[in-house]
Chains A and B, each alone.
Chain A
Amino acid sequence: MIGAAFSVTLTSAQRGDETAFACLFRDVQPALLRYLHVITPEAEDVAGETWLQVVKGLPGFRGGEEAFRAWLFTIARHRAVDAARSRSRRSDVPLAVTDEVTGQPMAPDAAELALEAISTRSVVALIKTLPRDHAEIIMLRVVAGLEAADVARIVGKTPGAVRVTAHRALRRLAELAERAGVTH
């Protein structure tokens, strides 16, 4: 999070300052890419499309840092949905990690997870084993740092449902991590 300097950075970026825009990019891009890795197999492509749309809409954006993040992750989710639709039209592309037919998460290879040290990639792989809505809400609440109301608007649920789902997902994640030995 940029913090108090966000408004100055945003204004400079809106005036065409490339350095200010790079500051925004470096602040949000890691969380964006991790979030997209959870919800789509084409995370890099979707992230690039998201930033292109952000560049187009940046001069007209008004709001603070949380609003900027909420706007950016909303764009990313829409682009991910579009990518999933185009992917479903192509028969030669394999499905995502989550079993989209049954809706049940595919069990991770515990031995493989145990071999890895605790890292961002291993945690992302573990979160991807959760149900889709649980994983997405965890990523938006914890990684993107959005409030429950913003997450509720993005995923189409009530703030209370988001909070309950986040709690359930974190409990389930703690169980999976303890079983896989990721944190030990």
Chain B
Amino acid sequence: MPGFLFPGRPGGEHDEPLLDMIIARRAIPPDAPQPMHDLARMLAALAGPAEPGELAGEAAVRAAFCRAASPASISAAARRPGRRRRITRSRRPARSRARLATALVVAVAGLGSVFAAYIDVLPSPIQQLAHVTVAAPPPPSSGLPRTDTTRTRPATRATDRPGQAGRGSHHSTGPAQVPGQVTPTPNYTPYPTRSPGRPTAEPSCGPSPGHSPSPRPKPSGYPSPPPWYQAAQCAGIPTGPAGQRTLNPSGPLSRTPDD
């Protein structure tokens, strides 16, 4: 607060404008006190030109400036980001190559698994999974009947060969059957076609203990199989999806009741 009288500070109310003028290096009035004039001369000498020796460090500082401003330093500074760019460029394809390799491995593994599932060489649980997911053939020991694709290989399996079908081997695709009980086949249609030329029901292949002697009535939608069909079934000749067999632990291969 200029002009405010501070008690207990003699002369303080008068010298503040003068002190501000001295600090601003302005000329003070001639009628100012002598100590103010002396102080102004002191500070003018303090802010005066350079004295000998004060610029002694100029050569070293100029040398440092020339080093910093030289083309070599500029090119060195310019090389640094370039080096970073090169590093970035070389890292980016490495990542891309890694991703591409991973994708290729996954694709090959997936295709190979699908192929293996379709040629039926996978373990049963995996084959079952493949059957559910990618419609591959069901595993041999599962309770699901084979589709037409599995029947396109006649006489390649022991059970498919004539004369071996009645052994009840593990190649039987039908589940253990309780007499008079329908085999549960969820999510599966055992008779995918109803064309008149293909049989959709099959009789029992000979008498078996525990099997119902009286055949159950056929559904009205399924016609009776032709006479040659029963003979072919008993001989072990593949007859398509209608020739579904079940594993009968107490006897030879038996047919699932068609319902």
Contact = CB atoms under 8 A, between A and B. Distances in A.
B19 A166 contact: yes
Given A51-B64, A120-B51, A142 B58 contact: no
A123 B45 contact: yes
A182 B56 CA distance: 27
Interface residues of B, number: 34
A118 B48 CA distance: 12
A87 B222 CA distance: 107
Interface string A37-77: 00000001001100110011000000000000000000000
A22 interface: yes
Interface in A1-23: 13, 16, 18, 21-22
Contact of B58 (A22, A55, A174): A22
Contacts of B41: 118, 183
A18 B35 contact: no
Contacts of B69: 16, 18
Contacts of A166: 19, 23
B65 A178 contact: no
Contacts of B56: 44
Interface string B56-84: 11101110111011000000000000000
A48 B57 contact: yes
Interface residues of A, number: 43
A56 B68 contact: yes
Interface string A172-184: 0111011000111
Contact of B42 (A29, A47, A52, A123): A123
B39 A174 contact: yes
A33 B61 CA distance: 14
A183 to B, nearest CB: 4
A114 B151 CA distance: 124
Contacts of A26: 50, 55, 58
Interface in B22-58: 22-23, 25, 35-36, 38-39, 41-43, 45-51, 54-58
A33 B55 CA distance: 9
B259 interface: no
Given A123-B42, A171-B15, A31 B47 contact: yes
B26 to A, nearest CB: 12
B16 interface: yes
Interface string B230-254: 0000000000000000000000000
B46 A142 contact: yes
B38 A29 contact: no
A55 B42 contact: no
Nearest to B9: A171
A173 B47 contact: no
B54 A33 contact: yes
B23 A170 contact: yes
Given A124-B46, A170-B39, A52 B64 contact: yes
Given A121-B51, A174-B38, 8 more contacts: A30-B51, A48-B60, A52-B64, A143-B47, A145-B47, A170-B39, A173-B39, A177-B38
29 contacts: A13-B65, A18-B66, A21-B62, A22-B58, A25-B58, A26-B55, A29-B57, A30-B50, A30-B55, A34-B46, A48-B57, A51-B57, A51-B61, A52-B64, A118-B45, A120-B51, A123-B46, A126-B42, A127-B46, A141-B23, A142-B47, A145-B25, A166-B23, A167-B19, A170-B22, A170-B23, A177-B42, A182-B42, A183-B42
Interface of A: 13, 16, 18, 21-22, 25-26, 29-31, 33-34, 44, 47-48, 51-52, 55-56, 118-121, 123-124, 126-127, 141-143, 145, 166-167, 170-171, 173-175, 177-178, 182-184
9 shortest interchain CB distances as A-B pairs: A16-B69, A183-B38, A30-B50, A51-B61, A174-B39, A174-B35, A123-B46, A30-B54, A55-B68
